[in-house]
Amino acid sequence: MTEAPARAVATPVSDADPFAHEHLLNPDPLHQALREAGPVVRLSRYDVHALARYEQVHAALVDWQHFESGSGVGLANFRHEEPWRVPSLLLEADPPLHDAPRRVLREILAPPALRRLRDTWAATADELVDQVLEGGPEFDAFTALAEAFPLRAFPDAVGLGPDGRENLLPYGNMAFNAFGPRNDLVAADAHRAAALGAWVNAQCAREALTADGFGAEIWAAADRGELTYVQAPLVVRSLLSAGVDTTVHGLAACLYAFATHPQEWQRLRERPELARVAFDEAVRWQSPVQTFFRTATTDVTIAGTTIPEGTKILMFLGAANRDPDRWSEPDRFDLTRDPSGQVGFGMGIHQCIGQHVARLEAEALLTALARRVESFELTGAPRRHANNTLRAWESLPVRVRPAA
């Protein structure tokens, strides 16, 4: 951290690269340094401003008038750079264009609409947990549970066909890398970007989707005139882009939390109705989506620093979620706290529209586990997976003691 030359306000400058593997794999030290440096920090590597404190991150998230999404929510500025794919109608759009797709998807993914999935997913989770435990007390909780469960639940709920589902996680991984700079992580997937994109786009067609899933409901909204037929497949694409990896790493955050906080696991076993709060607290504590950018629509002054119109602002959701000015003992995973207000799902008009789906998946999996697992512990070092946006996992080796 170095000081900028004294001006109206000396905005702190950092030459850290938040997208370097070192920080992606272990973000907390950088987050602390950025929070302590000031309410706004200039990142000289990328010539952007960054917010890492809860107050400023929250304020930017809810002020879509000054902090737009339509120029992209990654480092790339769509005012000057060609997006890597047709922009999302939800994520990379502002009112009024954002409104109709948002309204349609909100209805489809709202809690009352998800009720029909509750029993199905509970049964799917019971079955998966039984199968995993039959294989013995030691397994990789990341692959066997955190990856496996959403892949059994979500694609069927969308109405995807049986073929090619193995593309979902690689596509999501690529899409979340694409919000960062064009670094090694983006280069690593370049050879299959076109193939993955083509597969996902093909699944968004009406003919590719079953008649009873979220996908069909999006097309039905187009039939009612609530969306155009050009918009419908792009809204389906949002489900496939944002709906799998996020949940996988959110569930992994829960499993990691419980493997390392046995008392909290006992609390959950005694009160399984805490499953949803546990998921939200895990999302606060780990922030599976670490960062998003916005673009200033005018010169905007935050705490004395003026951010020029048309430039990018990087919001550190993960840092805000552990800001000691907002959270007591922020580094503790704690089921007795109220995690509402955490910004891991964002806040404001772009707040995660799939969060009820994710919570239902978490509830199903955690409840199934709570019935069958008395305790669990790590048997080796968990391994992270580097991604420009996701706080992601590769392996979570555990041993469980089955419940009597």
Using CB under 6 A, list all residues that contact ligand OVM. Answer: 88, 90-91, 175-176, 237-238, 241-242
Q: How far is CA 362 from the centre of its chain?
A: 14
Report the residue number, 90 or 368, with the smaller CB distance to ligand OVM: 90
Cite the DSSP H helix spans in 135-230. Answer: 141, 148-158, 168-177, 184-203, 214-223
For the CB of residue 127, give the shortest distance to ligand OVM in the complex, in Å: 29
For the CB of residue 70, give the shortest distance to ligand OVM in the complex, in Å: 13
Cite the DSSP H helix spans in 350-389. Answer: 355-372
Report the residue number, 241 or 321, with the smaller CB distance to ligand OVM: 241
Report the residue number, 86 or 123, with the smaller CB distance to ligand OVM: 86
Complete DSSP assignment for 302-335: ETTEEEPTT-EEEEEHHHHTT-TTTSSSTTS--T
Rounded CA separation 339/356 (Å): 15
For the CB of residue 336, give the shortest distance to ligand OVM in the complex, in Å: 30
For the CB of residue 5, give the shortest distance to ligand OVM in the complex, in Å: 38
Rounded CA separation 245/176 (Å): 9
For the CB of residue 311, give the shortest distance to ligand OVM in the complex, in Å: 22
Element of type H or E holding 373: strand 373-378
How far lies 222's CA from each of 216, 225, 226, 227, 346, in Å? 10, 5, 5, 4, 27
Report the residue number, 132 or 313, with the smaller CB distance to ligand OVM: 313
Report the residue number, 82 or 134, with the smaller CB distance to ligand OVM: 82
Amino acid at 126: D
> Given strand 41-43, what is the order of strands in its sheet?
2-3, 12-14, 41-43, 48-51, 312-316, 291-296, 67-68
For the CB of residue 289, give the shortest distance to ligand OVM in the complex, in Å: 7
Report the residue number, 91 or 282, with the smaller CB distance to ligand OVM: 91
For the CB of residue 217, give the shortest distance to ligand OVM in the complex, in Å: 16
How far lies 61's CA from each of 65, 238, 344, in Å? 10, 20, 11
Report the residue number, 59 or 175, with the smaller CB distance to ligand OVM: 175
Rounded CA separation 366/291 (Å): 26
Report the residue number, 245 or 323, with the smaller CB distance to ligand OVM: 245
Rounded CA separation 178/190 (Å): 10
For the CB of residue 72, give the shortest distance to ligand OVM in the complex, in Å: 11
For the CB of residue 302, give the shortest distance to ligand OVM in the complex, in Å: 24
Q: Which phi and psi (to 5°) does residue 105 adopt?
A: -70, -30
* Environment class of 14 (CB within 10 Å of its CB; exposed 0-12, middle 13-18, buried 19+): buried
**DSSP 8-state class, residue 208:** G
Q: Are 299 and 309 in contact (CB under 8 A)?
A: yes
Rounded CA separation 83/176 (Å): 13
Report the residue number, 10 or 110, with the smaller CB distance to ligand OVM: 110
Report the residue number, 176 or 293, with the smaller CB distance to ligand OVM: 176
For the CB of residue 90, give the shortest distance to ligand OVM in the complex, in Å: 4
Amino acid at 160: L
Report the residue number, 105 or 153, with the smaller CB distance to ligand OVM: 105
Name the CA radius of gyration of the chain, rounded: 21
For the CB of residue 185, give the shortest distance to ligand OVM in the complex, in Å: 14
